[in-house]
């Protein structure tokens, strides 16, 4: 409907100890925001991969980007850069809390007019004793 192509590259070997429904909410929030920020004909990329430090999820768009002065506030509850009535400002705040509950971190890189990338870093799989 929006004319944005979603490209997914899966690279996780799992299983991981996690709360799947909660992490699904994080992915949905990041993908929804990326699609909303993107123009028709652009791509949103979702990439998952294994690292020695644990699983990584990357959501990148070619959208409008986030102004530098907003980057330090985007995870604050009720903060939104969307027009009035188009966002609650809770999606990224909730995502930040969910990732933290899993012992992970979420980072963002963005350039106005070029796009945004969110990187979710989760801890490594627990080894059996």
Helix (H) or strand (E) holding 49: strand 43-51
**Lowest mean pLDDT segment, chosen from 14-23, 102-111, 114-123:** 14-23
CA–CA separation, 65 vs 105, rounded Å? 21
Q: pLDDT tens for residues 6-42?
A: 999 988 877 788 888 999 999 999 999 999 989 999 9
Q: pLDDT tens for residues 35-81?
A: 998 999 999 999 999 998 999 999 999 999 999 999 999 998 888 77
Question: pTM (2 decimals)?
Answer: 0.89
For residue 43, give both structure tokens: 């791509």
Please report the sign of the dihedral spanned by the C-alpha atoms of residue 26, residue 28, residue 32, residue 34.
positive
| pLDDT level of residue 128 (50, 70, 90 thresholds) | low
């Amino acid at each position: 409907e929006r004319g944005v192509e979603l490209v997914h590259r899966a690279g996780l070997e799992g299983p991981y100890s996690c709360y799947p429904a909660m992490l699904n909410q994080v992915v949905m929030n990041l993908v929804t925001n990326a699609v909303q920020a993107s123009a028709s004909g652009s791509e949103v990329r979702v990439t998952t991969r294994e690292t020695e430090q644990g699983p990584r999820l990357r959501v990148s768009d070619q959208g409008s980007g986030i102004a530098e002065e907003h980057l330090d506030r985007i995870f604050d509850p009720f903060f939104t850069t969307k027009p009035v009535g188009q966002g609650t400002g809770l999606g990224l705040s909730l995502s930040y809390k969910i990732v933290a509950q899993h012992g992970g971190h979420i980072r963002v890189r963005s350039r106005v007019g070029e796009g945004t990338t969110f990187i979710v870093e989760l801890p490594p799989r627990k080894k059996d004793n």
